[in-house]
Amino acid sequence: MSYCLGIESTADDFGVGILSFDGKILANIISAYTPERGGIHPREAARHHAEVAGEVVGKALQTAGITPQAIRVVAFSQGPGMGPCLRTGATAARALAAYLKIPLVGVNHCVAHIEIGKLIGETKDPLTLYVSGGNTLVSAFEAGRYRVFGETLDIAVGNCLDVFARDAGLHPEEGMPLGAMVEKLANQGQAFISLPYIVKGMDLSFSGLLTAAAQLLQRAKYPIEDLCFSLQETVFSMLTEVTERALAHTEKKEVLLTGGVAANKRLQSMLSQITDEHDARFCVIPKEYALDNGAMIAWTGILAYQHGMTIPIEKSFVKLKWRLDEVYAPWVRD
């Protein structure tokens, strides 16, 4: 059997996954960099990735129970993402490929989220809503590419929830990301406070809404539970509106929800409702594969490798702003 080792390092996580060419996940190891306070600092995260790279690769091989020589191809997340983080992962991947004398494949991070979602969720041709700390997009495959039907014009929805939570004085606890803390408080909220609802065409904007919510926080007039509830209702309705319109337009029969924010039960219920109304199947990707992970890079690496899409080391530069709709994906059939 042939195996691919995939390295993910676009942001705060350094992940290594190993898959067999027939789609079995043998290992999926993640080492997360957690800043002591505030958001991610790209250089600090990259330093973390460099420190743990050897250990995480070793652990993945051990978990998979294979020797490095059994690896047939190395894949890495080539973009989009933070420069220093991407470069650290790319360096590790190049070193491995050179040492083992095997081919290298550069993978688009957003495509990888969709491909692992298809594998895990057993969907063939879904409309995907990918919502995380750094991304917010609605995509489906049409005419040879993953098209972007809607996306954020400014910050990502996860970032919006995180900044609001930090402004409210919440601190991420072990095993509980800020978005999950907002969800917990929102469950206790009762009154809806109106916030700016900004959908432009098929695109979304969260920064004005975040400013408005932060101002309400400062005035300390409303309970935090009601503010969290209202923030969630507003941002998730915006996401649901755009997803529903894309679904009506594309007539896809499956909806895939992925990314860190996919864990949110309220978002799941709103999307599941519109999916039902369109007679489509709704699928939420479990956290292990919805968050950034190496398995998704390995799997997409296999698909690309099987279509001859390897890159020479000297051309394996990272692409910080690599858009999903620029990716040539010959392994997907229309």
In the complex, the smallest distance separating the C-beta of residue 13 from Fe ion, rounded to whole angstroms, is 9
Q: Should residue 10 be labelled a site residue for ligand ATP when binding is judged by CB under 6 A?
A: yes
Q: Should residue 133 be labelled a site residue for ligand ATP when binding is judged by CB under 6 A?
A: yes
Q: What, of ligand ATP, Fe ion, none, does residue 235 touch, CB below 5 to 8 Å by kind?
A: none
Residues 30-89 that bind ligand ATP (CB under 6 A): none
Q: Should residue 138 be labelled a site residue for ligand ATP when binding is judged by CB under 6 A?
A: no
Q: Which residue is nearest to ligand ATP (CB)?
A: 260
Per-residue b or e along 43-64, where b marks 16 or more CB atoms closer than 10 Å to that residue's CB: eebbebbbebbeebbeebbeeb
The strand pairing partners of 31, in sequence order, are 14
Strands 254-258 and 281-284, by their bridges, are: parallel
Say if residues 44 and 51 touch (Cβ distance below 8 Å).
no
Q: Residue 178's Cα: distance from chain center in Å?
A: 16
26 or 257: CB nearest ligand ATP: 257
Residues 139-198 that bind ligand ATP (CB under 6 A): 158, 161-162, 177-180, 183
Which residue in 15, 84, 106, 260 binds ligand ATP (CB under 6 A)? 260
Q: Should residue 257 be labelled a site residue for ligand ATP when binding is judged by CB under 6 A?
A: no
In the complex, the smallest distance separating the C-beta of residue 10 from Fe ion, rounded to whole angstroms, is 6
Which residue in 291, 298, 302, 324 binds ligand ATP (CB under 6 A)? 291
48/299 Cα distance (integer angstroms): 24
142/11 Cα distance (integer angstroms): 28
Which residue in 91, 108, 234, 264 binds ligand ATP (CB under 6 A)? 264
Q: How many residues bind ligand ATP (CB under 6 A)?
A: 23
Q: What, of ligand ATP, Fe ion, none, does residue 117 touch, CB below 5 to 8 Å by kind?
A: none
Q: What, of Fe ion, ligand ATP, none, does residue 11 touch, CB below 5 to 8 Å by kind?
A: ligand ATP
User: Where does the chain have alpha helices with state H?
Assistant: 42-64, 83-100, 109-121, 157-167, 178-186, 207-219, 224-250, 265-277, 287-290, 294-305
Q: Should residue 135 be labelled a site residue for ligand ATP when binding is judged by CB under 6 A?
A: yes
Q: Which residue has the tokens 């010959």?
A: 330
Three-state SS across 195-240? CCCCEECCEECCHHHHHHHHHHHHHCCCCHHHHHHHHHHHHHHHHH
Question: Which tokens go with 293?
Answer: 């992970």
Per CB under 6 A, which region of 138-146, 259-267, 298-306, 309-317 contacts ligand ATP?
259-267
Per CB under 6 A, which region of 57-65, 188-196, 216-224, 254-262 contacts ligand ATP?
254-262
- Contact letters (x/-) for Fe ion, 275-294, by CB under 5 A? -----------------x--
CA angle (325, 46, 68) in 5-degree steps: 80
Say if residues 301 and 6 touch (Cβ distance below 8 Å).
yes
Which residue in 115, 226, 244, 292 binds ligand ATP (CB under 6 A)? 292
Packed helices 109-121 and 294-305: angle between N→C axes, nearest 10 degrees: 90
Residues at the interface with Fe ion (CB under 5 A): 132, 292
Which positions touch ligand ATP (CB under 6 A)?
10-13, 132-135, 158, 161-162, 177-180, 183, 259-261, 263-264, 291-292
